[in-house]
Amino acid sequence: MIKKTTLAIAGLAGLALSGVAGAADIHTQSIASTCMSCHGPGGRSQGAIPSLTGLDKAYFVKSMKDFKAGTRAASIMKRHANGYTDAEVEAMAAYFAGLK
């Protein structure tokens, strides 16, 4: 929804500026970037927290659903998983799967 609006506005204004990260809409780009505060820049982690870079999309989605449902043991991730919609989880999964 946001993506469509954004593209429509950008198209109308003729301001097709470069540099907006790939195909990700701004909402996905922002929420994915907030994951990086713990999981490291670009999703590359140092230490015990897992990396997200290039993670398989289906695995990402299943992990978040299982954290949310409580069927996968977690320390902090249940708290986070509950805060996002299914659509947001799908979009973040695609975003991190696409990072190298």
- Contact residues for another protein (CB under 8 A)? 2, 5-6, 9-10, 13-21, 26-27, 29-31, 33-41, 45-49, 75-76, 78-80, 82-84, 88
Contact 53, 43 (CB under 8 A): yes
Nearer to another protein, 11 or 58 (CB): 11
88 vs 97, which CB is nearer to another protein? Answer: 88
**What is the residue type of 55?**
L
91 CA to centre of own chain? 6
Q: How far apart are CA 63 and CA 17, in angstroms?
A: 35
In the complex, what is the shortest distance from the CB of residue 15 to another protein, in angstroms, rounded to a whole number? 5
